Structures are given as structure tokens and as C-alpha cells.
Amino acid sequence: MAAWLAGSSSKLAHSAARRLAGDLRRRGPDPWLLSSSTMPARGQLAGDLRGFCSVRRFAGDSTAATAAEESENEFAGGDLQQVVDFPGGKLSFVGEMNFVPESQRERIKCYRVLDDDGGIIYSSRFQEVGKELALKMYSNMVTLQIMDTIFYEAQRQGRISFYITSNGEEAINIASAAALSADDIVLPQYREPGVLLWRGFTPQEFANQLFGNKMDYGKGRQMPIHYGSNRLNYFTISSPIATQLPQAVGAAYSLKMDKKDACAITYFGDGGTSEGDFHAALNFAAVKEAPMIFFCRNNGWAISTPTTEQFRSDGIVTRGQAYGIRSIRVDGNDTLAVYSAVHTAREMAIAEGRPILIEAMTYRVGHHSTSDDSTKYRPADEIEHWRTARDPISRYRKWVQGNGWWCDAEETELRNSVRQEILQAVQAAERIPKHGLAELFTDVYDQVPSNLHEQQRSLLDIIKKHPSDYPTEVNS
């Protein structure tokens, strides 16, 4: 059988060589073939083709052998319908030299359920949301908005050092979180505190992290807004862009290996797709068929860099197909659309063992962070338009209120109670002492090595020499 396989491959290569040589004699040199100015010898050409293309054969009966011979004859006769099983994929052929265009003729459309006035778009297909869930989602969106306002003001007052808001992206936060289960693993970027809020992280826990006090789970070692919770399956945020993406694939693959009825989800912005980790993660997830959701917040800006200076593709959604990943583009300011897309994506990811890419189109109404002034690179009237005319909370409220589930009196009561709760959390967090300096040197080694002891002594000596430069509570 091995001899027959070798002979058949050789015959096929020689037949192809004869055809190609004849074509070259009739047409002359082909400008698209490298070194086409010199006609190779028959033996040399056959050898080159044998290295370029091999036909994969498998042991079988005489029927398989007959089929192989017929395939060879078809190829020799110029039949473009023949299919060859290359090591890189099973392919058919065309006689036309067609380059794949750089983009599709039309942009991929955006999935939407609610119009700008909060009405259901005719013929929209979406996941039904009952009154209890709808009100919980709305309450959390309002809480996130008020929390951002108060914490942002606290930073401006010098009470905390840094903050990032989610203004304009409340629907992405809360609706996506509502569509997940508590067992799903979340690897966030830094604009998803609403996901943590939905899972049960309290305003007091948020405030403790921002002030870095003794009740902060990170012991004051992280920057503000770098939340994390083992209890809530929410990985601690890290500042480097997109590093969480390949980590999320590993987490999702572990869920698959353990046969868990859960998936992993990772969030990132459009700027994160310019990082190599994004591409590595998508390929990793596709090849390993990891049950996970890639959720991209495309708000048009990577700090001050617009998407027009980041990529030439049709946004992010087209990247999925390149890696063999099912993808969808959704209106990120439409609460019902985000909820439905994530709910369906989760079901597909777990039931079919596959990654899903979601591109949520939105707008960052706030500055990138408290270190940024976005009016330096985008018009103030554009920001105001998105803050008012396209606010996801107002749009969703119209739908909730249109169902008879909400009224103005309940709105006032909710906003007043949430504001009081968060203000009290800020006041309490300020009163809780900070960790001592000794905590900087723990939790890495089981036994603290001598070089870290030396660094600690050196730091304390500096503080003693310059006591006015440091708070009094950090000298222990």
C-alpha cells in the first residue's frame, strides 16, 4: 500500500507538471510566478510541485484507490472542481486570480431592540425580561451612575488619588452582568464596576478599596478602582492593557476541562484590540474551543486616540471571523440588546464549547480618568449630545416606565436613598485606618527574605528623616 501511495503521488505531480509546463509554453512567462523567466526542467518542476502540494491518502479498499485515480485524471484534465486536502485545509480551486478585499462592501449591522425613545423596534427578537429583573437592572444602573458622581467628586476634593467613571456605559455594565450566572468567571478591564456591583459588591466595599484602608481586600496596594473579589468570581483588575484576555481563555479552558456549567467573560476597550494579547487570546480560544465571551466596549477612543488611528477594519466584530469565532455587533446603549446578546452568547459558549466575540458600540461620556481632559481632543457639544440624547439610563427608564413598572416618585426615592448610602460609605471609609508599611512586604514569600527586610528598614529610615512628607499613620 505504501508503494502505491508513493506511486500515485508521483503520477499526480508529473501530471500537474506536464499541464503547468504546457501552459507556460503557450502563455509565456507569468509575471506573478517567481523566477518565471526561466523554464525549469521537467524533473525539476515535478520535484518542486511535489514539495509544494501533496495529496493526503488514507489506507482503504479498492474504491478509495479508484477515487484517487479519478481525482488525478480530473486534475490532469483541468477540472477546477477538484478538492485537494492540503495540510492547511481542504480546498477547491478557481481559475480567476481573486484577492480577498480589505473590507466588505457594507458595514456589519448593529443589533438593537430599543429605539431612542425606549420603544421596542418592530420585529426585534430579544430575551424577555420580567418586572423584577427589569427593576433590579434599572436600580443598579442608577446606583452606578450616582456612585461614579460621588467618587469622582471625592477625587476632585483630594480625598482619593484617582478614579475612572463608567458614564455612558451603564447598560454595558449592568445588562451584561445580569445575563451571566454567579459561577461565570469575570476578568474585567477597569470600566466594569457595575458587573461587580450586580454581583453583590457593596458601596462600602467600593469605598474601602478607593481609600485603601484596612478593610480593603487588596490591603491598599492597588491603585483606586482596581477592584477584585474572590467571593464573587471577579478577578482583580490590573492596569496593563489586554493582559487579562489570554488569562481569561485559560480560565475558560479550565472550566471546560472540569466540565463546569459556566463560562468566562473578559471585558476590554477598542484600544485593547491593538495589543498582541488580543490576537493571541482569540486564536487561543478558537483553537481550544474555550467557553468564553470576549466583550469589547467600542466607545471610539483609546484615551485620546480615535479608532480611525487604531485600525482600518470594520470595527472589532470582523476580527472574530478571521479567527473562526462567532461574533455580533450590538448597540451598547441599549440595555435589552446587551442583555439578550450576552444571554444568548453564554448559552452558545457553554452548550457548544466555543468562544463568542461581542462588540458593543457606545460612547464614553466622561473623561478617560481623573487624569484626563477629553475636551482637548473631542468637541464639548458632542459629549453633551451623547450625555443627554443617547443616555442609556434615560432610554431604558422610558421602556420600564412605559410598562407601568416605574414612576417619578419611585425615581426620587431611589436616587435619594442611594446617594445617602454612598455618602455614608465614603465617610466611613475615611475613618478606617490605613495598613502599616509592613504590609508592603508580606504575602509574596512564605518567609520574608533578607533583602526585603533591608528595604523595609531603609524605607523607615527615610520616613524618620523626612517625617513631614509622610502621613503619621504610615510609620509602622
Q: What is the pLDDT of residues 288-334, one digit of tens each?
A: 999 999 999 999 999 999 999 999 999 999 999 999 999 999 999 99
Residue 30 to residue 47: CA distance in whole angstroms:
20
Residue 54 to residue 6: CA distance in whole angstroms:
11
Residue 296 to residue 313: CA distance in whole angstroms:
15
Query: Of 124-133, 336-345, 424-433, 464-473, which range is least confident?
Result: 464-473
For residue 476, the model assigns a pLDDT of 55
pLDDT at 17 over 50: no
Q: How confident is the model at residue 472 (pLDDT cuts 50, 70, 90)?
A: confident
Torsions phi, psi for 234 (to 5 deg)? -120, 105
- Cα torsion through 236, 241, 243, 244, rounded to 10: 40
| Amino acid at the residue 275 | E
Residue 91 to residue 408: CA distance in whole angstroms:
63
Distance of CA 311 to the CA centre of its chain: 16
Residue 373 to residue 128: CA distance in whole angstroms:
40
239 is catalytic: yes
Torsions phi, psi for 456 (to 5 deg)? -65, -45
> What angle is formed at CA 423 by the lines to CA 422 and CA 425, rounded to 5 degrees?
60
Q: Which of 9, 166, 340, 369 is catalytic?
A: 369
Residue 142 to residue 148: CA distance in whole angstroms:
10
Torsions phi, psi for 295 (to 5 deg)? -115, 110
Give the tens place of pLDDT for each residue, 231-288: 999 999 999 999 999 999 999 999 999 999 999 999 999 999 999 999 999 999 999 9
Give the tens place of pLDDT for each residue, 399-418: 999 999 999 999 999 999 99
| Amino acid at the residue 453 | H
Q: How confident is the model at residue 26 (pLDDT cuts 50, 70, 90)?
A: very low
C-alpha cell at position 406: 416605574
For residue 311, the model assigns a pLDDT of 93
368 is catalytic: yes
- Percent of the chain with pLDDT strictly greater than 70: 83
E runs forming strands in 57-202: 84-86, 89-91, 185-187
For residue 18, the model assigns a pLDDT of 52
Residue 224 to residue 205: CA distance in whole angstroms:
12
Between 145 and 81, where is the model more confident?
145
Q: Which of 367, 368, 374, 435 is catalytic?
A: 368
Q: Which of 69, 70, 153, 352 is catalytic?
A: 153
Contact in structure between 156 and 369 (CB atoms under 8 Å): no
| Amino acid at the residue 308 | T
**Residue-wise burial string across 129-140, b where 16 or more C-beta atoms lie within 10 A, e elsewhere:** beeeebbebbeb
For residue 131, the model assigns a pLDDT of 98
Would you put residue 291 in left (φ > 0), alpha (ψ -120 to 50) or beta?
A: beta
Average pLDDT over residues 2-24: 47
Residue 188 to residue 1: CA distance in whole angstroms:
56
Q: How confident is the model at residue 103 (pLDDT cuts 50, 70, 90)?
A: confident
Residue 73 to residue 327: CA distance in whole angstroms:
41
385 is catalytic: no
Q: Which of 239, 254, 304, 476 is catalytic?
A: 239
Entry field: residues in the chain = 476
Is the overall model pTM greater than 0.85, yes or no? Answer: no
pLDDT at 357 over 60: yes
